Amino acid sequence: MTAGLASVLAGARILPVLTVPSVANAGPLADALTAGGARCAEVTLRSPDAEHVMKTMAAHGGLAVGAGTVLTPDQAERAVAAGARFVVSPGYDAGVVARCRELGVPVVPGVATATELMCALRAGLDTVKLFPAEPLGGTGMLKALAAPFPQARFLPTGGIGPAHLSGYLSHPAVLAVGGSWMATTGHLERGDYDGIRRLTAEALERSRG
């Protein structure tokens, strides 16, 4: 499953995590992210327009779009129908994992404990979302979980900002880092797409450094 997700991410180590209030934001947001150098994005299912947003952003062509906050197999199926190329969940749900396998898309379940990580590994997954990363203890928690499970790869998300990037990205178990600071609801409500472009470009620059 790692190879599939890594292929979708195409080497990108920054994953913008987006909660988009309206489909009207989708086109300009996709333009701003790609102008900033982003190659992928996660659209969370936290707004009524989320599926339409995914469909519009997937049709943009410049981004590999995934679905986040997927809680049920039905949500996973609808997200993939809307163009999602990967699925991210805040926790581990066997039904979501099974449906994603049937659909042929990478799935990244959330874990917060060693027990949850063991469940994911036992299911044949080797990439998980460490969530919520910063409230759990940040890079200290990451290192503690990674040490006994060297086969695991992590996508830390939750409370992460620019100042935290180098700490996470320097760990060999981290595939990519997810964050919402590049395109907040405030940015979208204000129409601050130039700010989104700038913050995205800065994040990608930090990831290379």
Residue/partner pairs of 190-199 with CB below 8 Å, 24 or more apart: 191/28, 193/28, 193/29, 193/31, 193/32, 194/32, 196/29, 196/32, 196/33, 196/36, 197/32, 197/33, 197/35, 197/36, 198/36, 199/36
Q: Using one digit for the tens of pLDDT, what is the confidence trace for 159-200?
A: 999 999 999 999 999 999 999 999 999 999 999 999 999 999
Q: List the domain range (segments joined by +) for residue 137.
A: 2-208
Distance CA 207, CA 174 (A): 12
Of the candidates 116, 207, 121, 117, the residue with the CA atom closest to the CA atom of residue 160:
207
Of the candidates 160, 162, 125, the residue with the CA atom closest to the CA atom of residue 142:
160
In this prediction, residue 3 has a pLDDT band, given cuts at 50, 70 and 90, of low
Mean pLDDT of 117-137: 96
pTM above 0.85, yes or no: yes
Whether the bond into 132 is cis, omega within 30 of 0: yes
In this prediction, residue 45 has a pLDDT band, given cuts at 50, 70 and 90, of very high
Residue 6's H or E segment, with its range, is: helix 2-9
3-class DSSP state of 112: coil
Amino acid at site 30: A
Provide the number of structural domains found in the chain. Answer: 1
Write out the catalytic residue numbers.
Answer: 42, 129
CB atoms within 10 A of CB 13: 19
Q: Using one digit for the tens of pLDDT, what is the confidence trace for 50-108?
A: 999 999 999 998 899 999 999 999 999 999 999 999 999 999 999 999 999 999 999 99
Mean pLDDT of 38-42: 96
- CATH number for the domain harbouring residue 200: 3.20.20.70
Amino acid at site 92: Y
In this prediction, residue 11 has a pLDDT band, given cuts at 50, 70 and 90, of confident
